[in-house]
Amino acid sequence: MHIEHREINEYFFGNAFSADDLFRDLSPETQKSLDTIKEEKHFKKNELVFANGQTPVFIYFLLHGDAQIFGNPKLDGKVLTRSVEPREILGLTEAIAGLPYETSVQTVSPCLFECIRCDDFIHFLQNEPESCFCFLQMLSTNIQKIYQLFARQQ
């Protein structure tokens, strides 16, 4: 399979999950439940938020600052990177699957992240079906887009 460099980030990283998309249509009661499990964490410039291979403890939402996400696969000797988007959810699929982080995230400037402990988020999804369904829709869309990219390469 040959994937062009311009498509490799989309193929490897998929589409960013936005906290705004995931939590946009929650009822006030569900939003209140979610707010009780959130906390904020400050990171200094050039600080590692999490590393590939680590067991997830938190999922993260970038509130302020600039950060980079790094992928393991190399293309022509270059490490794959892209900027973290504002309000992007980081570590979500790994937390749900119970797998180590697939990527690393490092700050480029001082950053503020909103964080939710993985166990708390799993419990939240189990008790809030509307959130679970929104996540399932987002994940399905992402999987479909990656499949379409992969299918074009065949």
User: Distance of alpha carbon 92 from its chain centroid, rounded?
Assistant: 5
94-118 residue pLDDT tens: 888 899 998 899 999 999 999 999 9
Q: What is the mean pLDDT of residues 125-154?
A: 72
Under 8 Å between Cβ of 15 and 110? no
**Rounded to two decimals, what is the model's pTM?**
0.75
- Domain annotation for the chain: domains and CATH numbers: 5-152 (2.60.120.10)
Give whichever of 10-24, 82-96, 133-147 has the largest mean pLDDT. 82-96
